[in-house]
Amino acid sequence: MTFPYGNDLNYPDSWAGKSTTKAENYMIGYHSGASLIFGAHTFLFFGMESLSAFSATLIGGGPSVTYGLSKAAKRMSREGGQSNRYTTGMDVSEPLARIEKGKDVVDAYDWSTSLDNINSAHQIYKILAGNVSTFKAILPFCAEDLAGTLGVVSGVKADVLIGGAGYYLADARDLFTEVTAFNLTSQFTLVSASLGTLVGVWKLDKFFNLWGEISYSKQDEYPFQAYNVHPFFKQWKSKAFTYELEASRLQEQDKIINQITTDMINNPTKYGYPDSDYALQRVVERTQQFYDGGRSLESNSFLPWIPADQRELFGAPRYGGLR
């Protein structure tokens, strides 16, 4: 799956900046933390291909707990009988179960009043851009995908006296692993959890839309040109870039058509043709029809053999019936 992850580049208003829009490349930073009945670590995220910015907190059962507890943990695979590298024998199934039911979340967030100062996607972007730490996800995900996912946070270069850390390593099950997030705050975080490894559940705190904040508010020709985002957004509204996108799409069309026609000639019976000579004749006719018809869907006699996940390149539905 590649950018734009199934979204329509012609209508970015319908997906850019939304909490359901996926990104593969992210900026990240550690915001704050606390140790209560269960630990908590808050991070700031910015999706460089989604233009979504959000804060998310990993809430766990203590400074060092066990993977595989609570009902949510049962979703985790244990292929090959691998041992759990986070096992300490500390049972936090009840705290994690309460978190999942939402009963104690309000109490857990009381400590994080500093998040009140975070009020825009542009603010999160500026904070993270000044302390650049980026990562590539295992698979593209959105803010809502992270919410409810099991994860792990470890403090690195921890200061025993104040309970803080120079930076943190963060995991989210099947989304990202061992991501480095620099500590963004100059205040004492007082996180006993940072001295060990915290395992818990990710909760989405605040969400903001950079696309909505910037795209039409700036008078610049290319409002995202100075931002560290996907080239599509940097050159949005650019005729040259639109031409490049269309040229790339047509090139992909030609590649697919050539693959099909070559296979038709080499394997004629597969397509119901008696021999290669007859297949070549039909290939010429089909190809001429396709290009003479301006590559339209109606003139595309190759459509039945185009893979479902590539039909969008030709203006056809990706799955289901042909239109």
Regarding whether 31 and 105 lie in a shared domain, the answer is: yes
Farthest CA pair distance, the chain: 82
Query: Strands of 52-60's sheet, edge to edge?
Result: 134-141, 23-35, 39-47, 52-60, 197-209, 150-159, 164-172, 176-182
pLDDT tens digits, 72-86 = 333 333 232 222 233
Together in a domain, 17 and 133: yes
Q: Are residues 212 and 271 in the same domain?
A: no
pLDDT tens-digit map of 273-321: 999 999 999 999 999 898 888 888 888 999 999 998 888 888 876 544 3
End-of-domain residue from the set 234, 267, 288: 234
Structural domain includes residue 4: no
27, with CB counted inside 10 A (0-12, 13-18, 19+), is: buried
* Number of separate domains in the chain: 2
Reported as a single tens digit per residue, the pLDDT across 78-120 is 232 222 233 333 344 554 554 444 444 444 444 445 566 788 9
Q: State the residue range of the domain holding 303.
A: 239-314
Domain boundary among 234, 255, 286: 234
Q: Collapse the DSSP code of 106 into the 3-class scheme (helix H, G, I; strand E, B; otherwise coil) and give the result.
A: helix
Q: Which residue has the higher pLDDT, 33 or 268?
A: 268
Residue type, 194: S
In this structure, the answer to whether residues 68 and 199 fall within a common structural domain is yes
**In a shared domain, residues 310 and 219:** no
